[in-house]
Amino acid sequence: MGSAPVTGIEDRVAYRLVKRAFDIVFSAAVLVVFCWLFAIIAVLIKVDDPKGPVFFSQERVGKDGRTFRMLKFRSMCVDAEEKLAELRELNEKTGPVFKIAEDPRITRVGKWLRKLSLDELPQFVNVLRSDMSIVGPRPALPAEVATYDDYQRQRLLVKPGLTCYWQTRRNRDSITFDEWVDLDLLYIKKCSAWSDLKLIVQTVGVVLTAQGN
C-alpha cells in the first residue's frame, strides 16, 4: 500500500448511495427470512447457559471514530470480559488484537456459532441502523483504536463491515495485524459495487464450509 494516504472515498457519492441502499435491502431480507434461525439460536444459547443473556453488546469504533454498540449472539461465558486479563499473555495475534485458538471462555454452543459464523448474524441490525455496512473493515474496540498510528486510523474512513478481505482469507489466522490493516486500506482504495459483491459471495463460501473461528 505504501505510505500515501487513502483519499477519494467521500467523492464517490453514487457508489456510497448504492451501497447504503443495498445494505438496507439485504440486511432487512436476512432478518426477515432467517428470523426462525435467530429463534433457534436463542433457545440453544439459553439451554447451554441459562443464566446468561442471548445477545452480547460491546462498544466498537465506527466511521470517523464514532462509537456504537455492536451486537452478537453470545458465544462466551458471562464473565468473559473479566477473564480477559489473565489470558492476555496467551495472545496469538500481533498488534492490539486479542485471539487464541482454544479460548476457554467460549461455550459449547458458542464454539459452533463461531465455526459457522452465526454469532455475527445480529450485526445485520447494526447495518440497518447505519452503524455498519455489509462490507468494510471489521469494527475495532476503543482500546485497540487508541493504539493506532495515522496510517492505521485510515481504517475508520468508511463504515465497519460484517465481512472484509481478511474475513475471506483461508490463512487469516496467520495474517499479522499490519497485513490486516493493509488489506482493509486496499479495500477502501479499490472498493466498488463489484468488489463488494465478490466479497459477499466469498463470505457465503466461508460460512458454508465452516471456516469461522
Tell me how many domains the chain contains: 1
**Domain membership flag for residue 6:** no
**Domain membership flag for residue 198:** yes
Of 82, 200, 74, 91, which is closest to residue 144 (Cα–Cα)? 91
Res. 212 pLDDT band, cuts 50 70 90 = low
The one-letter amino acid at 129: R
Q: Tell me: the pLDDT tens digits for 57-90?
A: 999 999 999 999 999 999 999 888 888 878 888 8
**Domain membership flag for residue 153:** yes
**Domain membership flag for residue 213:** no
CA angle 39, 162, 68 (to 5 degrees): 85
Res. 91 pLDDT band, cuts 50 70 90 = confident
The pLDDT score that the predictor gives to residue 123 is: 97
Q: Of how many residues is the chain composed?
A: 213
C-alpha cell at 10: 467521500
Concatenate the DSSP letters of all residues of 59-126 into one string: EEE-GGG-EEEEEEE--B-TTHHHHSGGGGGG--SSTT----TT-TTB-HHHHHHHHTTGGGTTHHHH
Question: Are 207 and 116 in contact, with CB atoms under 8 Å apart?
Answer: yes
Of 164, 159, 200, which is closest to residue 181 (Cα–Cα)? 164
**Domain membership flag for residue 7:** no
**Domain membership flag for residue 142:** yes
Range of the domain at 27: 12-207
**Domain membership flag for residue 120:** yes
Q: Model-level pTM?
A: 0.88
**Domain membership flag for residue 1:** no
C-alpha cell at 13: 457519492
Q: Tell me: the pLDDT tens digits for 16-36?
A: 999 999 999 999 999 999 999
